[in-house]
Amino acid sequence: MLSKKTKYGIRALIALGEHYDKEPVNISFIAESENIPKKFLEQILLELRNAGFLYSKKGAGGGYSLLKNPKDINLVQVMRITGGPIAQLPCVSLNFYQRCEECRDEENCGIRDTFRDVRDATLKILSETTIADLIAKEKGIPKE
């Protein structure tokens, strides 16, 4: 299951993407427009900032803005920051690999093979979907 943290992160990036190249947007605005608890959103934006996706400005008139073009942010990148693994099995995760405790023969596990395929298919879709795509889609602009 996608965590709320990840969902909120993506929605925040969509909101920020709609203000790309404009004045910083403050947290309260995003929290209200996207229906996200403000204090929770603060943490998420902080992580996205520390990961290099956002610029922040403190003080009156401050807020967040996107450092990258929405076209250059895909959902795999976002999920890796906010949500951890994309794979549904630890033994198949590229960035968070862990052996399954109960496993007796990892090299020869049919479940593993299957969920590697699932991971690959998921990765393909998510890596090909950018924040810009989501913004366009929500505006009703069909993808070329």
Partner DNA sequence: ATAAAGTCTACTAAATCCGTATACATTATA
Partner DNA sequence: TATAATGTATACGGATTTAGTAGACTTTAT
Residues forming the site for its own copies (CB under 8 A): 1-2, 4, 7-8, 10-11, 14, 34-36, 75, 85, 88-90, 100, 102-105, 108-111, 113-115, 117-118, 121-122, 124-126, 129, 133-135, 137-138, 140
67 binds, among its own copies, DNA, none (CB under 5 to 8 A by kind): none
- β-strand pairing of 54-57 with 63-66: antiparallel
Q: Least distance in Å: CB of 42 to its own copies?
A: 16
Stretch that binds DNA, among 14-22, 61-69, 88-96, 130-138 (CB under 7 A): 61-69
Could you write out the DSSP letters of every residue in the chain? Answer: ---HHHHHHHHHHHHHHTTTTSS-B-HHHHHHHHT--HHHHHHHHHHHHHTTSEEEE-STT-EEEESS-GGG-BHHHHHHHHT---SSSGGG-SSS----TT-S-GGG-HHHHHHHHHHHHHHHHHHT-BHHHHHHHHTTPPP-
Calculate ∠ Cα 41-32-76, nearest 5°.
45
Provide the β-strand partners of residue 55: 65
User: Does the footprint of DNA cover residue 34 (CB under 7 A)?
Assistant: no
Q: Least distance in Å: CB of 121 to its own copies?
A: 4
142 binds, among DNA, its own copies, none (CB under 5 to 8 A by kind): none
User: Does the footprint of DNA cover residue 46 (CB under 7 A)?
Assistant: yes
User: Does the footprint of DNA cover residue 97 (CB under 7 A)?
Assistant: no
Interface residues with DNA (CB under 7 A) are 3-5, 8, 24-28, 37-40, 42-43, 45-46, 49-50, 56-64, 84, 101-102
